[in-house]
């Protein structure tokens, strides 16, 4: 368990089938763009105020957690729109050696839980993900964890935008030599 | 030992050759665990991580789990994290505060001073009596603090920490001693594995500024600013261009296995990927740093370092890391963000943001370092490859001592003086029975280098 997992989800009224379907289709499209290396198109789905973060996770005893004693954590990703765009620009240089040749990825998402927020045009999303990465000749990595997104639709019928992504990766010691792919 | 290893045939520091089977051979690895990780000073923790009595931090010496604990009298002890009954680990949290360490297997319980204080069913299970005084946690016999960094050593015959450090202490002070109050660790620890031998990252941080121009070309390109532009991507305090483009001179140091490199700049310039707020902080605090350290080190805000065997850090970028060996083919990186204790909270946040952006598993620069090392390790699966000597000749026979106060054996920054010194010290440790022999061999090599 991590801090971001223990924050209470809002328990407002359930959303409609139609809206759930629409949001899930939007998230599948986003995953496709990443898997197809369409990184500029992916950036276009992120709002200008996007906060894209991942923090380390830690081992602490249950007894200590009850007393709110836990080892400190730090950022793994702490990106705004500009910094995400720079990551994409880095891939485009052809000299981002961690991604040369580029990794093949499959973003698999499930356990989609959408809840309304206090704003009628914004929704909270919690989901689990498996991100498969195949690299070079035979390297492969599975990143498994949970994601909390917040999305908005500024005007009725307009495109959805993601403006918050908190990523939890369930490893204290990451079994991957680098995180050069997008979650 | 399965076979006799002729270490000297694998390393030729005089002529700049290394045979890469030293990165893959299991017998060599086992010898390293005994003779290097069993005899050298290893970084354990920063004192700021365990401020109160009973505070502990779990780490490793080589592959041995170690718990570092603040004592009631304020001193710091370190213990093998191993129950003396059946070898179970007794402390599992990454860090925390404890009154005792109780083994989950049979419930033996140890005080924070390592004493065995409770054995369940003691009188019934050990009717013949159990001498609990003999079965405390095994204590690391040598623990010393250098300006906030806690080091441990299993070997009571080893040189004292300060003597072991030699001139690398002078270089380290450039990070640890800039301001009154010293340093602290900001936030938690990045931990991740890289499938490569521990000597690749250690050597790179000791001796390899050369790689940065090519390996990190993409990061520098996308994070840098044009020198005539106000468009500073990382905040208005950002240094616009990498210091290797603007520095007037540069130096590499390599002695006693340790290594360092840095550029001489006109102004207190952190490197291009450092947050503007951090770069500005270095400018604002420059007078204090200069008063404490002198001009050369106060200006030294870009550079690489390794204290043999596995403690590395970068000036300015504020990353400090230890490369825990995990067999010949894997290393576990533990990276800490280190900053001046007296910096403001906003500046500390900028330090953390800055170190994460450039380094750590998702860092713009570090991603590409780990890629190199894993690919090298894969190539060395090949029988031909692992027995093909590699060129370590850069700057050979150009070593000199400087008269400007920069200590030790030095060279131009683009050289492999520190690598040659590191591998000579590495070999000396593997072949020597005693520290006396090690020190003699090292001295002899360094005299030859300066001939």
Residues B380-406: tens digit of each pLDDT: 999 999 999 999 999 999 999 999 999
> Is there a domain that residue A91 lies in?
yes
Q: Do B320 and B430 belong to one domain?
A: yes
Nearest CB to B222; choose among A60, A76, A90: A90
The ipTM is 0.95
**Whether residue B3 has pLDDT greater than 70:** no
Residue B231 near residue B385 (C-beta atoms within 8 A) = no
Extract the tokens encoding B173. Answer: 């002070």
Find the mean pLDDT for residues B32-45.
Answer: 98
Q: Are strands B319-325 and B331-340 parallel, antiparallel or unpaired?
A: antiparallel
- pLDDT value at position A8? 52
Give the number of domains in chain B.
2
- pLDDT value at position B245? 86
pTM > 0.80: yes
Extract the tokens encoding B239. Answer: 């240094």
> Is there a domain that residue A1 lies in?
no
Element (H, E) at B262: strand B258-264
Residue B70 near residue B56 (C-beta atoms within 8 A) = yes
For chain B, the 3-state helix, strand and coil shares in percent, each to the nearest 5, are 35, 25, 45
> Is there a domain that residue A108 lies in?
yes
Q: Do B88 and B182 belong to one domain?
A: no
Nearest CB to A96; choose among B337, B362, B368: B368
Q: Does B382 touch chain A (CB under 8 A)?
A: no
pLDDT in tens, B293-349: 999 999 999 999 999 999 999 999 999 999 999 999 999 999 999 999 999 999 999
* Last-in-domain residue among B145, B180, B200: B145
Q: With pLDDT > 70 as the criterion, what percentage of chain B qualifies?
A: 98
| Most A CBs within 10 Å, among B56, B361, B381, to test the A interface | B361
What is the residue range of B272's domain? Answer: 167-449
Q: Do B340 and B427 belong to one domain?
A: yes
Q: Does B93 touch chain A (CB under 8 A)?
A: yes
**Helix and strand tally (H, E) in chain B?**
16, 21
Residue B410 near residue B401 (C-beta atoms within 8 A) = yes
Q: Report which DSSP code applies to B153.
A: E
Find the mean pLDDT for residues B13-39.
Answer: 97
- pLDDT value at position B1? 45
Q: Do B223 and B370 belong to one domain?
A: yes
Q: Do B236 and B368 belong to one domain?
A: yes
Q: In whole angstroms, what separates CA A138 from the centre of its chain?
A: 25
Q: Do B125 and B259 belong to one domain?
A: no
Domain of B229: which CATH number? 3.90.380.10
Q: Following DSSP, what letter does each residue of A106-168 receive, concatenated?
A: EEEEEEEEEEE-SSTTEEEEEEEEEEEEEETTTEEEEEEEEEEEEEE-SSTTSPPEEEEEEEE
Q: Do B277 and B380 belong to one domain?
A: yes
Give contacts of A 139-168 with B, CB under 8 A: 139
> Is there a domain that residue B132 lies in?
yes
Instruction: Lay out the sheet containing B303-307: strands in order across.
Output: B183-194, B331-340, B319-325, B311-315, B303-307, B258-264, B249-255, B410-411
Q: In whole angstroms, what separates CA B58 from the centre of its chain?
A: 16
Least confident residue range of A50-54, B180-184, B247-251: B247-251
Per-residue pLDDT of chain A (183 residues; tens, 9 = 90+): 455 655 555 555 689 999 999 999 999 999 999 999 999 999 999 999 999 999 999 999 888 888 888 999 999 999 999 999 999 999 999 999 999 999 999 999 999 999 999 999 999 999 999 999 999 999 999 999 999 999 999 776 779 999 999 999 999 999 999 999 999
Residue B263 near residue B244 (C-beta atoms within 8 A) = yes
**Whether residue B195 has pLDDT greater than 90:** yes
pLDDT in tens, B207-231: 999 999 999 999 999 998 765 566 6
Contact B221 A95 (CB under 8 A): yes
Contact B193 A177 (CB under 8 A): yes
d(CA A116, CA B142): 58
Domain of A32: which CATH number? 3.10.450.50
Find the mean pLDDT for residues B95-103.
Answer: 96
Residue whose structure tokens are 């997008």:
A182
> Is there a domain that residue B133 lies in?
yes
Q: With the CA atoms of B434, B439, B444 and B445 taken in that order, what torsion angle do they form, in degrees rounded to the nearest 10?
A: 100
Find the mean pLDDT for residues B229-235.
Answer: 75
- pLDDT value at position B95? 97
Give the number of domains in chain A.
1
Contact A71 B361 (CB under 8 A): no
- pLDDT value at position B36? 98
Domain of B80: which CATH number? 2.102.10.10
Cis peptide before A101 (omega within 30 of 0): yes
Neighboring chain A residues of B365 at a CB cutoff of 8 Å = none
- pLDDT value at position B246? 85
Exposure of B78 in the CB half-sphere (CA atoms within 13 A): 27
Residues making up chain B, counted from first to last: 451
> Is there a domain that residue A69 lies in?
yes
> Is there a domain that residue B156 lies in?
no
> Is there a domain that residue B153 lies in?
no
> Is there a domain that residue B231 lies in?
yes
> Is there a domain that residue A177 lies in?
no
Q: Which of B76, B91, B75, B82 is nearest to B45 (CA)?
A: B76
Q: Do B85 and B140 belong to one domain?
A: yes
Q: Does B371 touch chain A (CB under 8 A)?
A: yes
Residue B19 near residue B7 (C-beta atoms within 8 A) = no
Neighboring chain B residues of A86 at a CB cutoff of 8 Å = 222-223, 233, 364
d(CA B406, CA B300): 12
> Is there a domain that residue A154 lies in?
yes
Contact A179 B361 (CB under 8 A): yes
Q: What angle do CA B230, B274, B222 make, to 5 degrees?
A: 60
> Is there a domain that residue B190 lies in?
yes
Nearest CB to B222; choose among A71, A89, A180: A89
> Is there a domain that residue A31 lies in?
yes
- pLDDT value at position A1? 46
d(CA B246, CA B275): 18
> Is there a domain that residue B322 lies in?
yes
> Is there a domain that residue B28 lies in?
no
pLDDT in tens, B103-126: 999 999 999 999 999 999 999 999
What is the residue range of A93's domain? Answer: 13-169
Q: Which of B360, B366, B363, B280 is nearest to B316 (CA)?
A: B280
* Last-in-domain residue among B145, B180, B198: B145
């Amino acid at each position: 368990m991590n801090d971001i997992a223990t924050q209470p989800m809002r328990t407002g009224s359930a959303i409609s089938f139609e809206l759930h379907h629409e949001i899930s289709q939007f998230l599948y499209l986003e995953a496709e763009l990443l898997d197809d290396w369409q990184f500029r198109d992916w950036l276009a789905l992120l709002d200008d105020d996007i906060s894209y973060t991942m923090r380390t996770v830690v081992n602490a005893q249950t007894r200590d957690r009850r007393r709110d004693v836990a080892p400190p954590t730090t950022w793994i990703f702490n990106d705004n729109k500009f910094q995400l765009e720079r990551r994409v620009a880095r891939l485009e240089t052809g000299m981002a050696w961690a991604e040369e040749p580029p990794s093949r990825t499959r973003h698999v998402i499930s356990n989609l839980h959408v809840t309304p927020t206090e704003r009628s045009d914004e929704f909270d999303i919690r989901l689990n993900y498996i991100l498969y990465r195949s690299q070079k000749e035979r390297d492969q990595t599975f990143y498994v964890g949970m994601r909390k997104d917040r999305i908005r639709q500024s005007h009725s019928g307009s495109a959805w935008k993601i403006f918050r992504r908190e990523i939890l990766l369930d490893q204290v010691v990451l079994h991957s030599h680098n995180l050069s792919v997008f979650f | 030992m399965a076979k006799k290893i002729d270490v000297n045939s694998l390393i030729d520091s005089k002529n700049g050759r290394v045979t890469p089977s030293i990165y893959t051979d299991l017998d060599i690895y086992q010898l390293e665990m005994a003779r290097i990780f069993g005899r050298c000073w290893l970084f354990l923790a920063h004192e700021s991580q365990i401020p109160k009595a009973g505070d502990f931090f779990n780490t490793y010496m080589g592959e041995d789990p170690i718990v570092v604990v603040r004592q009631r009298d304020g001193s710091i002890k370190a213990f093998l994290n191993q129950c003396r009954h059946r070898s179970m680990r007794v402390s599992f949290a990454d860090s925390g505060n404890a009154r005792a360490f109780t083994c989950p297997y049979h419930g033996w319980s140890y005080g924070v001073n390592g004493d065995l204080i409770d054995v369940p069913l003691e009188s019934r299970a050990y009717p013949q009596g159990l001498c609990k005084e003999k079965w405390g946690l095994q204590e690391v016999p040598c623990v010393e603090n250098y300006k906030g960094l806690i080091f441990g050593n299993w070997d009571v015959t080893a040189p004292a920490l300060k003597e072991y450090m030699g001139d690398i202490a002078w270089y380290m002070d450039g990070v640890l001693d800039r301001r009154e109050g010293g340093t602290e660790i900001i936030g938690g620890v990045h931990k991740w594995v890289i499938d490569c031998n521990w000597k690749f990252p250690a050597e790179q941080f000791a001796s390899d500024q050369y790689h940065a121009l090519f390996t990190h070309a993409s990061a520098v390109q996308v994070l840098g600013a044009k020198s005539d532009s106000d468009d500073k991507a990382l905040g208005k305090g950002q240094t616009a261009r990498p210091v290797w483009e603007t520095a007037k001179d540069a130096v590499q140091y390599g002695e006693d296995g340790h290594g360092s490199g840095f550029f001489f700049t006109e102004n207190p310039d952190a490197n291009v990927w450092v947050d503007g707020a951090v770069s500005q902080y270095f400018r604002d605090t420059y007078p204090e740093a200069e008063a404490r350290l002198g001009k050369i080190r106060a200006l030294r805000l870009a550079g690489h370092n390794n204290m043999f065997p596995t403690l590395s850090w970068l000036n300015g970028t504020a990353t400090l890391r230890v490369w825990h060996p995990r067999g010949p083919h894997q290393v576990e990186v533990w990276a800490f963000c280190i900053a001046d204790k007296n910096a403001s909270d906003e500046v500390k946040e900028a330090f953390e943001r800055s170190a994460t952006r450039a380094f750590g598993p998702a860092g713009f620069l570090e991603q590409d370092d780990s890629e190199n090392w894993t690919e090298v390790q894969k190539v060395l699966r090949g029988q031909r490859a692992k027995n093909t000597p590699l060129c370590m000749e850069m700057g050979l026979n150009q070593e000199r001592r400087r008269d400007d106060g920069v200590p030790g054996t030095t060279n131009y920054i683009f050289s492999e003086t520190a690598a040659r010194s590191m591998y000579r010290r590495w070999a000396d440790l593997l072949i020597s029975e005693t520290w006396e022999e090690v020190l003699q061999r090292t001295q002899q090599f360094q005299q030859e280098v300066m001939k």
